[in-house]
């Protein structure tokens, strides 16, 4: 059905493009979606978008940073005058925009990477204190470092043991931006532990921890801490991963048996296959010819595709490798084919009819599971059909927590 509004060339709202790059556009809509929780404001986001040049990471960094500084200055001025509500609200949005500046910026030697990340959490911690939101910072021991985390305790638990939902994001987004998860949890009587894992957030940008395929070695230390937390019912611990986390969470669940439920949003069976399906076919052929041929083909593709160039540089940093061939070896190692049958906890696999980044992978994961399982597909009727339900987080929370309420 053709839309009468020329701004929507397709049949659904998802055809609207605010930036002429699919990845940047999705990331912008992610920021706008947070307005539902007071973490962004529409006018501020659109003013930023007006200044972004397609495929220009510097323009992305500069535009979001300028907005973040402007809002932080207002927060600090309001706090000095004792206007704690205005200050808390502004600190929360400033924190969002500082993180947003890093969402599409992949030059790890740039000092703004670390500076903006730390400033974001300085603002976020000021918000938590001024707004009296029930979140507290935790450091989870991990090898010879730690994973920056926030524990959100539900006031509804009232001192009684309550379920705990552990969650993390994927390749790009930050867990604090995924407020629909931790806010939805505490409003329903769950505690929630959001973790910045290797390859993500501060764990990458400050602690220099890259992704790894054997995610059970990340989640087991998290669960080790979770079972010691006051007020946590250790028989009711759930795990949720979003985006690339749709591979990471079930990978961990195959080995970590203290989990009662697992949610993969969206589910991914083979991360390498999903990545290759979005890249030129020439790379798939070159990969079979060995490292030299593949690196040359990747360089050629990057020269003609700014998105591919950004993706390979960004992913190489996050996976801790130096060549495209090594990167795709890492992608291919993220494969649940041989371990999906080891998952024992009840698992929810989520998908969307307009999932562009890992199309078809959720159904493949669901079919490979032998544990108790459910499949939830968001379509145009729900308006939540995009990757990780971008633009429809209220709907995502409604359906996800309705499923959890019957199990956790």
From the options 3.40.718.10, 1.20.1440.110, 1.10.8.60, 1.10.287.70, give the CATH code of 14-133: 1.20.1440.110
pLDDT of residue 61: 98
Region 241-256: mean pLDDT is 98
| pTM, rounded to two decimals | 0.96
Cα–Cα distance for residue pair 268/363, rounded to 1 Å: 8
The CATH architecture assigned to 134-270+334-408 reads 3-Layer(aba) Sandwich (3.40)
CB half-sphere exposure, 353, CA atoms < 13 A: 10
Lowest mean pLDDT among 173-177, 288-292, 393-397: 288-292
Query: 154-186, pLDDT tens digit by residue?
Result: 999 998 999 999 999 999 999 999 999 999 999
Query: 312-332, pLDDT tens digit by residue?
Result: 999 999 999 999 999 999 999
Do 14-133 and 134-270+334-408 come out as alike in CATH topology? no
Query: 81-105, pLDDT tens digit by residue?
Result: 999 999 999 999 999 999 999 999 9
Give every strand in the sheet of 232-242, ordered side by side: 135-142, 145-152, 191-195, 162-168, 232-242, 261-265, 346-352, 373-378
Long-range Cβ contact pairs of 300-309 (< 8 A, separation 24 or more): 305/280, 306/55, 307/21, 307/22, 307/23, 307/55, 308/279, 308/280
DSSP state of 37: G
Domain boundaries, the chain: 14-133, 134-270+334-408, 273-332
Region 257-286: mean pLDDT is 89
3-state SS class at 124:
helix
pLDDT of residue 276: 82
**Of the candidates 104, 93, 190, which has an alpha carbon nearest to the alpha carbon of residue 400?**
190
Residue pair 203/148 in contact (Cβ under 8 Å)? The answer is yes
């Amino acid at each position: 059905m053709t839309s009468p509004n020329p701004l929507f060339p397709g049949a659904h709202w998802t055809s609207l493009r605010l930036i002429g790059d699919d990845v940047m556009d999705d990331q912008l809509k992610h920021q706008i979606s947070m307005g539902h929780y007071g973490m962004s404001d529409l006018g501020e986001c659109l003013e930023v978008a007006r200044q972004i040049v397609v495929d220009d990471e510097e323009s992305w960094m500069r535009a979001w940073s300028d907005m973040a500084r402007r809002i932080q200055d207002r927060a600090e001025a309001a706090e000095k005058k004792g206007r704690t509500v205005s200050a808390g609200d502004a600190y929360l949005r400033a924190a969002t925009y500082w993180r947003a500046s890093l969402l599409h910026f992949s030059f790890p030697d740039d000092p703004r990477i670390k500076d903006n990340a730390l400033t974001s959490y300085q603002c976020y911690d000021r918000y938590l204190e001024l707004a009296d939101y029930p979140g507290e910072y935790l450091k989870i021991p991990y090898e010879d470092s730690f994973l920056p985390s926030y524990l959100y305790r539900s006031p509804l638990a009232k001192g009684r043991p309550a379920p705990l939902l552990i969650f993390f994001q994927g390749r790009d987004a930050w867990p604090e931006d995924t407020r629909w998860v931790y806010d939805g949890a505490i409003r329903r009587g769950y505690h929630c532990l959001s973790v910045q894992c290797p390859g993500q957030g501060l764990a990458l940008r400050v602690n220099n921890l890259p992704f790894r395929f054997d995610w059970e070695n990340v989640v087991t230390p998290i669960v080790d801490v979770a079972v010691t937390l006051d007020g946590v019912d250790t028989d009711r611990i759930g795990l949720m991963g979003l985006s690339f986390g749709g591979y990471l969470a079930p990978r961990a669940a195959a080995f970590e048996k203290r989990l009662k439920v697992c949610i993969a949003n969206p589910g991914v069976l083979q991360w390498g296959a999903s990545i290759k399906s979005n890249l030129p076919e020439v790379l798939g052929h070159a990969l079979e010819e060995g490292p030299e041929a593949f690196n040359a083909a990747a360089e050629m593709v990057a020269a003609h595709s700014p998105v591919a160039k950004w993706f390979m540089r960004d992913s190489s940093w996050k996976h801790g490798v130096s060549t495209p061939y090594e990167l795709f070896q890492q992608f291919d190692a993220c494969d649940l084919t041989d371990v999906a049958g080891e998952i024992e906890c009840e698992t929810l696999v989520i998908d969307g009819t307009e999932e562009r980044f890992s199309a078809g992978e959720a159904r493949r994961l669901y079919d490979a599971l032998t544990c108790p399982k459910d499949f939830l597909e968001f379509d145009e009727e729900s308006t939540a059909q995009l990757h990780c339900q971008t633009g429809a987080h209220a709907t995502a929370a409604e359906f996800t927590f309705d499923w959890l309420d019957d199990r956790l």
